[in-house]
Chains A and B, each alone.
Chain A
Amino acid sequence: MNESIRASAMQWWLQVNEAPADERLQQRFEAWLAVDDSHRLAYLDVLLVTNAAGVATEDPDADARPHRTLFKPGRTAGWIAMTFALVMCCLLPYAPRWFEQWRADVVAPPGLARVVTLEDGSHIELAADTAIAVAMRTDARTIELLRGRVTIDVARDARPFALLWKNTTVHDIGTRFTVEAAEDAVRVGVRVGTVEVRREGEQATPIAAGESRLWTAQGSEAVAWPEQASAPGLLVFNHQPAALAFAQWASVRGKRVIWLDAPPAEARLDAVLPVRSPAEHEAALASLARHFRIDVVFDTAGVVLLRPTH
């Protein structure tokens, strides 16, 4: 029998079985059959072998059949999905930071401070690893602190100036002030002028020049401002709570702190720690962990997982 006719017959068998509902295909197939009886014979031969091959026997490849193996090809999609989910779980801790990066208008990278001047002439010093979103509208000037610490020299302008962080709003009245925030703690210090801090469900709190106030989950308290907090090579902690202390360390070290449980709100740290080398950074982290009774669960490039010692 002509080999090309046999090959055509095999192709037709494959196509017709693959698309039994395709009427145009079926018509073309019948037209091919009608050309010559050799076509019909060739197709019958294919039917004979495929029918014989379909005789139910014991699976000759039973032990090696794909669904008996761990990596069943049919489950490839499942394995891919599991791998994807695992990768996503690993990346999940970074998600808030990516969201912040996406929203931010100005970012200071880890280990590098930055100063920007807004269109109204206000100066903003961003500590290392700080991100802010800026909204300068015709009726208001608003800075949203996404993470880190900013010190702002507010330019005089008819429009009110406000800094937002979570449920806290700092309304400026022509001044220079600093705000740093981490977890549930926020600290506001004023160098010049006066600000008014409003938090949801609380009365407005005025803070005058030379004053500083700290809010945590436990409430608020007046604190002394750490004037040397940004001194090169030094971490200055002045009555600092755990959340802000570790955030301060992380911003200089260029890492991201993730708390597995809420950080302790009561303990405070007054200390100056040198951070001029990687060894001193690690020593500073160990000192903070010891002082606040924190377990460093995981410390790798970019991320430090922390949990209060139980």
Chain B
Amino acid sequence: MSAWTALFAAHAEALRAVLTRVLGDRTAAEDCVQDTALRLLDVDFDSVRDPRAFLFQVGYNLARDSLRRRAVRSTTLVDGDEVIATQVADRDSPELQCLAREQIERVQQALAQLPTQRRRVVWLVRIEGLSLKETAARLGISAKTVENHMTMALRQLLKSLSEDNP
């Protein structure tokens, strides 16, 4: 069993659950999960800094493309505009793994630009897995302040992502 296969076996169920919920479509979610597995096989495991995060990043990107295709299909049915459908389909390419890697880099760079306290909050929530209340207790600030920090941080991180995906 390869390293990717073992990792996928460990996290496929979690990815499936998230995508089923977000897409609201079990079949589409399953397609994304299987596609994730296939795309991971093309990537050198040792070149990935955080394989688990990379797996989910690929899966989320596939889900996003799936949603866009769904939106375009609806539009095509109404308008007959097949050009848009073609453009979106082009995004579903072997470059998606590169996109996932690039997104992680961009977000990490944006993270490094955050004010210290905001970066602490993101670190505690995302890396140490604390809840907002636990983070507030750790930092000696209110939960509302932690929530504000997280909201501001997410806004800045999303901005870095949208630079790549308008």
Question: Which chain A residues have a beta carbon within 8 Å of chain B's beta carbons?
Answer: 1, 6-7, 10-11, 13-14, 17-18, 30, 33-34, 37, 40-41, 43-57, 59-61, 64-66, 73-74, 76
Contacts and interface: CB of A to CB of B under 8 A. Distances in A.
Contacts of A17: 125, 131
6 residue pairs, one from A and one from B, having the closest CB atoms: A73-B140, A52-B107, A54-B126, A49-B157, A55-B50, A74-B138
A292 B137 CA distance: 55
Nearest to A1: B162
Given A13-B154, A53-B122, A48 B24 contact: no
Contacts of A51: 53, 56-57, 60
A49 B160 CA distance: 9
Contacts of B116: 61, 64
Contacts, number: 132
Contacts of A37: 67, 70-71
Contact of B63 (A44, A61, A65): A44
Interface in B40-92: 49-50, 53, 56-57, 60-61, 63-64, 67-68, 70-71
B127 A56 contact: yes
B-side interface mostly: helix
A46 B157 CA distance: 9
B108 interface: yes
Contacts of A13: 154
- Interface centre among A10, A54, A59, by most B CB within 10 Å? A54
A59 B108 contact: no
Contacts of B22: 33, 40, 43-44, 47
A9 to B, nearest CB: 9
Contacts of B68: 41
A54 B127 contact: yes
Nearest to B133: A18
Contacts of A10: 150-151, 154-155, 158
A39 to B, nearest CB: 9
Contacts of A33: 21-22, 24
A56 B153 CA distance: 17
A30 B21 CA distance: 7
A133 B107 CA distance: 74
Interface in B105-120: 106-108, 111-112, 116, 119-120
- Interface centre among A7, A47, A53, by most B CB within 10 Å? A53
Contacts of B18: 47
Given A30-B21, A49-B157, A66-B138, 10 more contacts: A14-B150, A43-B22, A48-B60, A48-B107, A52-B53, A52-B103, A52-B106, A53-B108, A60-B111, A74-B140
Nearest to B70: A37
A20 B133 CA distance: 14
A259 B126 CA distance: 57
A82 to B, nearest CB: 15
A41 B67 contact: yes
A91 to B, nearest CB: 26
B138 A45 contact: no
A52 to B, nearest CB: 4
Interface string B147-165: 1001101110110111001
A6 B159 CA distance: 11
Contacts of A45: 64, 158, 161-162, 165
